[in-house]
Homo-oligomer: A and B are copies of this chain.
Amino acid sequence: MPKIVTEEEKKELREAMYHHTIQLIKEKGMKKITVEDIIQAVGIAKGTFYNYYRSKEELLFHVIQKSEQKLFQTILAIDYKTGDFREKVTTALKEIYLSKDSIVLYLRPEDMESLTEKLPTKAKASVEQKQTNNFQQIAELFGIDSTDLETFGVISYLMDCLHFTAVNVDYGKAARQISLELIVDTLADFLVDKKKKKEHN
């Protein structure tokens, strides 16, 4: 007779799979993870894995989405209207690109692309929509006019630089950390400058 699993136990198992997958992404990169790795890390049977996810891709997709939403919630929770705006923006950007928990640093664009390619078109479109929404919501919080395409362009270029620096060739851990901090500062300065100019108009 199969063991009866309570909702609480299911939730715990999902949590365990989430945390171990995040760990595995950090250790060996998204592309190299196998279902075998996951079931070994969590300590479950292969059959149990497939009770929860139809494929490795479905799990990875779920884990990355969840991790990004968590990150997004952290950014949203910061109150940008009171206190030092520059400091708050820097904190938010560092949370995304420099915190140890941030999954962003371990996701190579090409890996993400090959993952979303394996997803149904609907899921793919929903990811893109969600990302655009998140981006616009953050922009609004940062006081950026959503019709100002030039400013959006600069932010996009600098955020791409951050991402590129985070996942690209390795010139040394310390150098990467310093470079990320320099670009975060550049982006924060730019945002502060834009905000000031907007307030003056």
Contact = CB atoms under 8 A, between A and B. Distances in A.
Interface string A179-201: 10011011000100000000000
Given A160-B168, A160-B169, A154 B175 contact: yes
A153 interface: yes
Nearest to A174: B150
Interface majority SS on A: helix, strand, loop or mixed?
A: helix
Contacts of A168: 157, 160
B165 A153 contact: no
Interface residues of A, number: 27
Given A158-B183, A186-B186, 19 more contacts: A149-B175, A150-B174, A151-B175, A153-B175, A153-B176, A153-B178, A154-B171, A154-B178, A154-B182, A156-B169, A156-B171, A156-B175, A158-B182, A160-B169, A161-B161, A161-B164, A161-B183, A164-B164, A183-B183
